[in-house]
Amino acid sequence: QLPAAMKPESSTATVVIRYGTPDDMYQVTCHEKELAKCHENMLQYCRLGSEAHRQMLMDGLFRIMVAEAEGRVIGYLLYTPSYLLRHAEPGFYVQSLYVEPLYRRHQVGQSLLATLGRLAASSGFGHLKLLVQHSNAPAVNCYRRLGFDFLTETENIGFFELWPPKFITSTLQAGRRPLPAGLHLELRDCGGRLSGKLETGRRFALTCAACDCRLQGTVALTYCMWDGPVAQADLEAVRPSCPARGCALLNAANLRRLFGRLLLTCLPVRPVRLWLEAGRRDSRLRQLLIKIGLEDSTASELWHVCDLSGPGLSELAGRSVACPSVGRLAIDAGALTAEL
């Protein structure tokens, strides 16, 4: 159990935002379980303890910022690099953001995001990406105020998930099979900038000699606080003139081979899940993704896919980082730039 939360006193409390360390992971793990309780039916998926998180932080699988007050962690933001087809530059994926209830409405969460925005804007990272549950109204409203583009609404981007172990195993098996004659998989580095195992973002394109179709996107390793390493990808089917039916490229078997090869050749560790973003307007692609075992979480109105880039990111980075009703906020600027 964490120490009992204390009501913030405006005259004495100081909130410090700094990089998290392995020694913070016990408190962060306790907060992570509280965060899971806020999400519908998510507590059952919290399979990892603080020692596992501690080791994976030391291995470089993620980065974390913490907000500290009165000698303890009262909030955190966990992030990894993000690589997206729609962005030429890498960015940051905000995997998890939590603030203790008594410190909410004091701009602590906004200050964590603004600090990450400054870090991104000053270091060549061009976007922030995150997922938020439809049912989490306070967070949805906050991200709208901060200027995030809700791609689920504006571009009909869907969030798909492949996670039962049997589906991951069968996908890896498919990836070991040779590609059919005429198909070619091209891979190139995205150019990650953080130290550790997360420097392995790749752009890919699966092309077909028999037509002008291609499956293209990005893939990288990210981290889920609930159960560990996750493959994160986006996917687009480009079919300039080939009819949807009878295409030599776009079928379930080739999708399985593609995802299997990406998991085998592009990632340093075996992931426990695959998270995929893809346009839902392409009904043929969506049907095939569901056929091979991916769940469309957007269809069940579970998640929004959100993105912040360009002027919106600059505006977030320029926001005043302060928690006026809590007292004073300090940014450990030296620590926040030392590891880039």
Looking at the 3D structure of the chain, how many domains does it have? 2
Task: Answer yes or no: are the C-beta atoms of 139 and 35 closer than 8 Å.
Answer: no
Residues 58 and 191 in one domain: no
User: CATH no. for residue 174?
Assistant: 3.40.630
172 three-class SS = helix
Asked, for residue 9, whether it belongs to a domain, the answer is no
End position of a domain, from candidates 125, 148, 171: 148
Residues 138 and 173 in one domain: no
Residues 25 and 104 in one domain: yes
Which structural domain, as residue segments, surrounds residue 126? 16-148
Tens of each residue's pLDDT in the chain, 340 residues = 333 333 444 435 688 999 999 999 999 999 988 888 777 667 777 878 899 999 989 988 899 999 999 899 999 999 999 999 999 899 999 999 999 998 888 889 999 999 999 999 988 899 999 999 888 898 999 999 999 999 999 999 999 999 888 889 999 999 999 999 999 999 998 865 554 555 568 999 999 988 888 999 999 989 888 888 999 999 999 987 776 556 789 899 999 999 999 999 888 888 989 999 999 988 889 999 999 999 998 877 788 999 999 999 999 999 876 554 444 455 554 444 433 3
Asked, for residue 237, whether it belongs to a domain, the answer is yes
Asked, for residue 294, whether it belongs to a domain, the answer is yes
Characterise 247 by phi-psi region: left (phi > 0), alpha (psi -120 to 50), beta (else): beta
Q: Rounded CA gap, 2 and 89, in Å?
A: 39
Task: Answer yes or no: are the C-beta atoms of 93 and 225 closer than 8 Å.
Answer: no
End position of a domain, from candidates 129, 148, 167: 148
Q: Mention every residue, 6+ apart, whose C-beta is less than 8 A from residue 224.
A: 95, 230, 272, 273
Residues 210 and 95 in one domain: no
Residues 194 and 297 in one domain: yes
Residues 168 and 141 in one domain: no
213, two tokens? 């179709």
Mark out the alpha helices in the chain (DSSP H runs): 25-38, 50-58, 108-121, 137-145, 151-154, 165-175, 252-265, 283-291, 310-317, 333-338
Task: Answer yes or no: are the C-beta atoms of 248 and 211 closer than 8 Å.
Answer: yes
Asked, for residue 11, whether it belongs to a domain, the answer is no
Residues 238 and 186 in one domain: yes
Residues 166 and 305 in one domain: yes
Q: Rounded CA gap, 113 and 73, in Å?
A: 16
Exposure string of 107-144, with b = 16+ CB inside 10 Å and e = fewer, is bbbbbbbbbbbbbbbeeebbbbbbbbbeebeebbebbe
Residues 164 and 271 in one domain: yes
Residues 174 and 289 in one domain: yes
